[in-house]
Amino acid sequence: MKTNRKIILSTVSLFALLLLLTAIVQLEPFAPRFKGRTANQWLNYYSKQKNLGQRYDKVVEAFGTNLLTTLLAHKDPPFWLPAANKFNALFPGRFHFGAEASAKWHLTRQWAHLVVQQNPQLEREFLKDSSDDKFLLSYFELTCWPGDLPDRLRLHVLDTNQVVQKRMEYLLKEYRHWDDKKFARWLKDQRKAASQITLDRDAYSTFRAVMDNDPALLFLPEL
């Protein structure tokens, strides 16, 4: 009798614990909120909506960089989504399996780009202050469209901060699978291109200064 009672009590306790954990995960009682919803709840809400345009700008602005934690958790689409998309393609317009999951994945990337736009110095600060390589690569993968990551990192190749340069170097080599020689060759080309851009900019500035002083020079005949 006592044994059965213990089993019943253990089962009820376990069930109550599962309910509590489920409630914590779903309700997120300790997460920051905007207009009563957490970032994850807003993401789920907009994933179910249609034709809302840019109405979520204020949500992204309200959470700011804190939104990245939620977005990084949803960086990758569900493993089954490609198969669902292929199945849907076999029957155009008839089935929409995974539509909400697909919308959530695309929305995650759109919100990530908005966070970057609203915080232009964020990327440089991460490169300067974060030593978490996994986080940085995940951040760039989230905020870059496929194939754009090298171009984004290249923006920091001539940064005056040596820490930023070193982090950019490491991440680019990791992403491209380059050794030191390949990176050095690439860096030399980038610096050469940057020097040419500077020369072109200086030449144009000189040209504009001359034209501003004597606009009639614009109409000189060609030699």
CA-CA-CA-CA torsion for 29, 34, 39, 42, nearest 10 degrees? Answer: 110
How much is the pLDDT for 47?
Answer: 87
Which residue spans within the chain are E strands per DSSP? 33-34, 37-38
- In whole angstroms, what is the distance from residue 63 CA to residue 131 CA? 24
How much is the pLDDT for 19?
Answer: 46
Rounded alpha-carbon distances, angstroms, from residue 223 to 36, 207, 217: 72, 18, 13
pLDDT averaged per 10 residues, the chain (length 223)? 61 53 52 88 86 74 92 90 89 86 90 89 88 87 78 78 87 87 85 62 48 44 39
How much is the pLDDT for 73?
Answer: 92
How much is the pLDDT for 63?
Answer: 93
The pTM score is: 0.70
* Exposure b/e, 188-200, CB count within 10 A at least 16 = b: eeeeeeeeeeeee
Residue 219's Cβ-count burial label (10 Å; 0-12, 13-18, 19+) is exposed
How much is the pLDDT for 2?
Answer: 57
- In whole angstroms, what is the distance from residue 152 CA to residue 2 CA? 67
